Chain A
Amino acid sequence: MHYHWNWGIFFQQVSSSDDTFFNWLMIGLGWTLAVSLSAWVIGLILGSIMGVLRTVPNRKLAFIGTAWVELFRNIPILVQLILWFFVVPELLPERLGLWVKQDMPAKEFITAVLALSLFTSSRIAEQVRAGIQSLSRGQSYAGLAMGFTQAQTYRYVILPMAFRIIIPPLTSEFMNTFKNSAVSFAIGVWDLTFVSRQMVEESGGQVIETLTAATVLYFLCALAANRLMYVIENRSRVPGLIVAK
């Protein structure tokens, strides 16, 4: 093996620009965080709505929820991303499509957030549904018996319980969002994966240093997400359940 170690590579300047490789990694981290966090927030909102729809008695609304989940869950995230980026602009009316392709600001970023949030929402919807269905039927009957409308029953009785119950699977999903965001390199978002591929080339093949740095940064993102959710989980435990010691 002939590997030329150079851990100082991060403080060297990239030949084609004013940045150091460390700057590059930070730019990559920034975009990874921006894509993942935006997608997480939108995915959580859309996923909650669709998850609730799947549990309501109205058949048509429930079908919309089911169709949403099946559509966005059964196509690989990378393929969805490519569809949004290369295919959907062609399906739009001519002038709008042209604008999206040529003039839309932050085109790559917006597309990545859109694709990732829809993908994430389908998985969150499943968890929200499971959380709602894990509650005993009596809870919603109690709400209705109190004179709440169905919407009020969801708002004041069912959802406050369901969301607290599903925090552990939501934690994994939050961590998954950071991992899934790695596909956005494919449409040219300057995320950590994109930057590492560039850095391997520009640094003359410092593969190990580059990938170690990127891997550690991804690891830290997942860890931060995990700790944050852990704090929320502890603060919102439901009294009387097994988890609430």
Chain B
Amino acid sequence: MAMHFDFSVIPHSLPFVWKGFQFSLGLTLAAMSGGIVLGTLLALVRLSGGPVLGSLAAIYVDTLRSIPLVMVILWFFLLAPIFITSITPERSAYITFTLFEAAFYCEIIRAGIQSIPRGQVFSGYALGMTYGQTMSNVILPQAFRNMLPILFTQTIVLFQDTSLVYAIGASDLLHTSEATGKTFGRPVEMYIFAAIIYFTLCFSLSTLVKHLQKRIAIIR
């Protein structure tokens, strides 16, 4: 090997990298909750918002799904100063990720809603419930339960994608690891460290999702 490793750089850089990790995690959780709320609304509009609103929602979802996330990140970060106000890379990331992930959650939720038998909707109406009541009391609780594994899988993908804020220099796990690595002259060790954290977290979460999938399958 050409290189002599010195992993003692890790404890020295831990405080700074911890902040980056918290940002990555916070961004994931915020984009997940925001994305699921917005995605549910988009899915409902696509399914029952009428021809005009429905196709607007479809255009929004299909467009975002067919361009790279890096492009969307750049769009928002570079346009915001021109049209709205100057913005930090971190705040820009929060908004971009929520808007972008909503498109992906929308498709998962739409498929979940469509997998519920139509009779469930009719029985809601027959009981005198309004559209909103039927959705929130009858359809969505069942749909979400079926979708849970896929929603979590999408969230793992989302956590991996937060590393793309690299493009605008926001201080996430990858960026703080790289920065401290360069400061201490040990970038290689810090890259490996970051990769191990990403791997450990994603691998254990995806194993959990597999177990969840089995449990849900048995109950049904």
A contact residues vs B (CB 8 Å cutoff)? 1-3, 70-71, 73-80, 82-83, 86-87, 89-94, 97-98, 175, 178-183, 185-186, 193, 196-197, 200, 207-208, 211, 214-215, 218-219, 222-223
Pick the most buried of B63, B178, B191: most chain A CB atoms within 10 A of its CB. Answer: B191
Please tell me which one of the listed residues A76, A78, A193 contacts residue B71 in the complex, with CB atoms under 8 A apart: A193
Shortest beta-carbon distance from A47 to chain B in Å: 17
- Given A86-B188, A182-B68, A200-B78, the answer on whether A78 and B3 have CB atoms closer than 8 Å is no
* Interface of B: prevailing SS: helix
For B150-165 the 0/1 string (1 means CB < 8 A from A) is 0000000000110110
- For chain B, residues 124 to 161, give those with C-beta under 8 angstroms from any C-beta of chain A: 160-161
> Residue of B at shortest CB range from A196?
B74
| Interface residues of B, count at CB 8 A | 35
Q: Which of B6-14, B34-42, B48-56, B194-202 contacts A (4 or more CB under 8 A)?
A: B194-202
> Residue of A at shortest CB range from B81?
A207
B68, A180: Cβ atoms closer than 8 Å: yes
B contact residues vs A (CB 8 Å cutoff)? 1-3, 63, 66-71, 74-75, 78-79, 82-83, 160-161, 163-164, 166-167, 174, 178, 187-188, 191-192, 194-195, 198-199, 202-203, 206
B203, A211: Cβ atoms closer than 8 Å: no
B66, A97: Cβ atoms closer than 8 Å: no
Which chain B residues lie closer than 8 Å to A1 at the CB level?
82-83
Please tell me which one of the listed residues B71, B192, B203 contacts residue A214 in the complex, with CB atoms under 8 A apart: B71
Additional A-B contacts beyond A71-B199, A97-B3 (11; CB < 8 A): A1-B83, A76-B163, A76-B164, A82-B191, A86-B191, A90-B188, A179-B69, A181-B68, A185-B70, A211-B74, A211-B75
